């Protein structure tokens, strides 16, 4: 489990603080508001560092432990910052039977990072994801919103060069 204190920072920019307040205002009368709030707040900060979770707990009157419990339960919520380019290798069944393990191996090799990590220059972060629904193109790798399909192990080296420019 990640050390929660390591999940950086103590406050956001004034713009982030303003948008945070708007989100809290929008959901204050909704039942079961925590998950939609987490989704939108993560959009604002890019991830959910410790201080943000604390703020959410205080604003919604939910114990910090419960906020943290929910954040760590769902894979969509991240305690770590993401790279400028978020690389996801699809590990759905269709991609798996078409060799996504090899693709994953080559991606790790090419980026020099493991799943869940972010490269030191902040350019790439790597995740594995469940089916993104492009099974016709299996195996696929997503870089932000771009889908790269029908990949073979040897395609990977060249895949990231255009993002490095």
In the beta sheet, which residues pair with residue 43?
none
Q: Does 109 bind other proteins (CB under 8 A)?
A: yes
Are 139 and 100 in contact by the 8 Å Cβ rule? The answer is: yes
- 105 vs 123 by CB, closer to other proteins: 105
Strands, sheet with 141-143, edge to edge from the N-terminal-most edge strand = 124-129, 85-90, 141-143, 146-148
Q: Does 98 bind other proteins (CB under 8 A)?
A: yes
Main-chain dihedrals φ then ψ at residue 64, nearest 5 degrees: -50, -40
Residues 51-80 close enough to bind other proteins by CB under 8 A: 66, 69-70, 73-77
Surface-to-core class of residue 128, CB atoms within 10 Å of its CB (0-12 exposed, 13-18 middle, 19+ buried)? middle
The token pair at 25 is 């205002």
Q: Contact with other proteins (CB under 8 A): which of 154, 158, 164, 165?
A: 154
Size of the site for other proteins (CB under 8 A): 44
The least distance separating other proteins from the CB of residue 151, rounded to whole angstroms, comes to 9
- Interacting residue ranges for other proteins, rule: CB under 8 A: 31-36, 38-39, 66, 69-70, 73-77, 91-94, 96-98, 102, 105-106, 109, 129-138, 140, 147, 149-150, 152-154
């Amino acid at each position: 489990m990640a050390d929660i204190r390591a999940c950086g920072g103590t406050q956001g920019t004034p713009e982030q603080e303003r948008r945070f307040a708007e989100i809290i205002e929008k959901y204050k009368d909704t039942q079961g508001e925590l998950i939609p709030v987490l989704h939108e707040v993560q959009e604002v900060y890019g991830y959910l560092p410790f201080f943000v979770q604390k703020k959410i707990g205080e604003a919604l009157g939910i114990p910090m432990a419960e906020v943290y419990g929910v954040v760590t339960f769902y894979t969509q919520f991240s305690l770590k910052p993401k790279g400028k380019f978020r690389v996801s290798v699809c590990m759905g069944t269709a991609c798996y039977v078409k060799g996504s393990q090899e693709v994953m191996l080559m991606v790790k090799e090419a980026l020099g990072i493991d799943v869940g990590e972010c490269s030191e220059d902040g350019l790439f972060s790597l995740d594995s994801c469940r089916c993104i629904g492009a099974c016709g193109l299996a195996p696929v790798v997503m870089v932000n919103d771009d889908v790269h399909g029908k990949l073979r192990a040897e395609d990977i080296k060249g895949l990231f060069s255009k993002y490095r420019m």
